[in-house]
């Protein structure tokens, strides 16, 4: 059984992300399962800090993107909007280049709030960042 009120294709999600920070950073949606969403982001000049490693803020952008998109799929978009309340991130290891991949899964999907966990991995499947996003489901 799927968690989603509406389950768009990856192309439809990508289309909604055009001309945004998501597009600018090169975030690519990879997979949508019954209760998770997966995307990847390049570690390049757009996402690195001056020290040459993945910027923690870029990891948070990937995390918030995944959690917010997933949360939006859990509500009737004609009636509700999703707004962020809080995000946190624990940065575990640096990444110098390549790609990082994030996967979000729900912790709580309620009528007024949702909580999503996002885990970000490097190309060797080692954990890079763990994040938790809390959103509000507000009336349109």
Residues with catalytic function: 64
Within the chain, residue ranges assigned H as helices are 10-16, 21-24, 56-72
Question: CB-based burial of residue 105 (10 Å sphere; 0-12 exposed, 13-18 middle, 19+ buried)?
Answer: middle
CB 117 within 8 A of CB 105: yes
């Amino acid at each position: 059984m799927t968690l989603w009120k509406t389950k768009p294709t990856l192309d439809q999600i990508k289309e909604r992300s055009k001309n945004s920070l998501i597009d600018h950073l090169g975030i690519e949606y990879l997979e949508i399962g019954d209760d998770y969403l997966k995307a990847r982001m390049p570690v390049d000049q757009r996402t690195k800090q001056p020290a040459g490693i993945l910027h923690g803020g870029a990891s948070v952008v990937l995390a918030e993107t995944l959690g917010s998109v997933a949360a939006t799929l859990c509500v009737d978009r004609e009636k509700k909007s999703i707004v962020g309340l809080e995000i946190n991130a624990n940065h575990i290891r640096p990444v110098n280049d390549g790609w990082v991949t994030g996967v979000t899964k729900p912790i709580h999907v309620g009528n007024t709030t949702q909580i999503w966990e996002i885990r970000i991995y490097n190309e060797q499947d080692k954990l890079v960042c763990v994040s938790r996003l809390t959103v509000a489901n507000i009336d349109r």
